[in-house]
Amino acid sequence: MNRESLTSVRGGTIRVSVHVQPRSSRTEIVGLHGGALKVRLQAPPVDGAANAALVELLAERLGVPQRAVTVVAGLSSRAKTVEIEGTTEDAVRGLLPTGR
């Protein structure tokens, strides 16, 4: 899939499909996995640690408060849907590393 299908708009929020790889050597956004943003997280998938790390990473990279980022689907899965308030689709697409 391409960058255009990465996000969708619902009301005033942006929905993003995310594929998470927990217990990685570092926390980073690495590109696309299918039609989802692929994110590596150092945090383990235990007690919501990976979800919290994902929220923190996206909020920091998009310049929004952590309360504006919510995991709305896939809480215990690698495939997640995240809603983000206070940003744009272009800003989310801009998270992708260049050349990917």
3-class DSSP assignment, residue 55: helix
H or E element that contains 39: strand 36-40
pLDDT over 80 (residue 3): no
List Cα–Cα distances, 23 to 35, 55, 71, 97, 100, in angstroms. Answer: 22, 16, 19, 21, 23
pLDDT over 90 at 1, yes or no: no
Residue 59 burial (CB count, 10 A): 18
Output the pLDDT for position 99: 56
pLDDT value at residue 5: 66
* pLDDT band, very low/low/confident/very high, at 100 (cuts 50, 70, 90): very low
CATH 3.40.710.10 fits 3-93, yes or no: no
Domain chopping of the chain, boundaries: 3-93
Interval 12-70: pLDDT, tens: 799 999 999 999 999 999 999 988 999 999 999 999 999 999 999 999 999 999 999 99
